[in-house]
Structure 1
Amino acid sequence: MKRLFYPAIIALLGGCASQVPIPIKEPPPGNPTVAEVRQDGPRFTGSAVRWGGVITQVENKRDRTWVEVVSRELDSHGEPMSGSRSDGRFIASFPGFIDPIVYGAGQRLTVAGTIKGESTRPIGEYSYTFPIVTVSTSYLWGAEPEPARYDPPPPWYYDPWWPYYPGPFYHRPYPPYRW
């Protein structure tokens, strides 16, 4: 009985894990950047792309939803890296309705699809050309994580080894604070 119980539990727990789709993990061959498509849009129409970034706004139309995204570099799994450089903005065109609360500003999104064309819209008073991607697969990563913050201990706390603890590579660049 134990021979069947443990593999069944492992299979059930493994099935609950969220899986990133293959088109999101692996870029298509010859994946152009947002900047390349903005410079020569008609040449790339119909090309397969995998882009990602941070959502700025969601606009629901009659039968489609346009999600405006500030592009970011993607890591090896297709996740947008926080703090990385941006090639520009693009519009992810989803079929049907997308809830603006779920896909809210600040959420990280990766899409895979084909380039449909371009749209010129204002950002403030600047006229900006957005490449439009017809989305076939998408993955919502959530908001950017807060950076880790390490504060020094308060002055009444005394630890002679903070922040360096004895170990094989023990060294103290400065003497510990004294009372």
Structure 2
Amino acid sequence: MRFTTLLARLVVPATLLALVACAPAPLYKPSANNTVVSPAQVSQTPEQYSGRDVIWGGRIVQVNNLADHSEIEVLAYPLDSSQRPKLRGNGDGRFIAILPGYVESIDYPPGAPITIAGQLNGNRAGKVGEADYVFPLVKASQSHRWTAEELQSGKVSFGVGVGVGVGR
């Protein structure tokens, strides 16, 4: 009985530590001015959040290159603890990320997952289909387009079982 108790006291914490160690660290460090709010909430009362820092992510809808900057329209999704978009369910509003210079649209294709860190910088009225919409504008200080491999990395595949198995 003592061996079992000792084994449980050693194995359980070691297993939990190993699982936590597999999770990647967050991509961007939140600032003291950071606010945790969704784009949908900001689009309702944009003046309340002006100048606040955000870390948002989602799927790219489109890229628009202008003379001195690029704008990426993003359908927002919640982020996981590593700031990867959780691309399940309905989106959580839309926003426009403003990046300095030219962004090659082939590097930011529609549907690609992205995370943006930046400062809320006003809003713009526009349309989603035929519906009127208020897009929060984020002056991006950092952006990261996720690859399929990056989205899968750090996800723990863990199984426990007894018996005989055949793998292919």
Per-residue CA distance 1:8-31 (angstroms, 9 max, x = gap): xxxxxxxxxxx97433xx576432
State the one-letter code of the partner of 2:84: E
RMSD: 2.6
Distance in 1 between the 2:134 and 2:44 partners? 9
Structure 2 Cα separation of the partners of residues 83 and 121 of structure 1: 25
What is the match of residue 65 of structure 1?
Answer: 70
Following the alignment from structure 1 to structure 2, what is the Cα–Cα distance between the partners of residues 135 and 62? 17
Partners of 2:134 and 2:162 in 1: CA distance: 54
Hey, what's the Cα distance between the residues in 1 that align with 2:35 and 2:127?
Answer: 30
Query: After the TM superposition, which of the residue ranges 135-144 and 56-65 deviates more from structure 2?
Result: 135-144
- Check whether the contact 1:27–1:50 (CA below 8 A) recurs between aligned residues: no
Answering whether residue 106 of structure 2 is matched by residue 101 of structure 1, we say yes
The answer on whether the counterparts of 1:107 and 1:143 sit within 8 Å (CA) in structure 2 is no
Q: Deviations over 1:103-151 (max 9, x none)?
A: 01011000000000111112221111100000001111035979xxxxx
Q: 1:166 to 1:107 in 2, by over 3 A?
A: same
Per-residue deviation at 1:95? 0.5
- Which aligned pairs between 1:26-175 and structure 2 lie closer than 5 A? 26=30, 29-142=34-147, 166=163
**CA separation of 1:21/1:77 partners in 2, compared to 1, >3 Å: closer, same or farther?**
closer
- Hey, what does 1:22 align to over in structure 2? 28
Distance 1:22 1:40 in 2: 25
Shift of residue 165 of structure 1? Answer: 7.5
Separation in structure 2 between the aligned mates of residue 110 and residue 89 of structure 1, nearest angstrom: 13
Q: Do 2:62 and 2:73's aligned partners in 1 also have CA atoms closer than 8 Å?
A: yes
8 Å contact 1:20–1:139 — kept in the other structure? no
Stretches of structure 1 that go unaligned for 5 or more consecutive residues are: 1-18, 147-163, 171-179
Report the alpha carbon displacement of residue 71 of structure 1 after superposing the two structures with TM: 0.3
Please report the TM-score for the alignment, with normalisation by the length of structure 1.
0.65
Q: TM-score, normalised by structure 2?
A: 0.69
The percentage of counterpart residues that share the same residue type is 34
AA in 1 matched with 2:74? V
Give SS of 1:76's match: coil
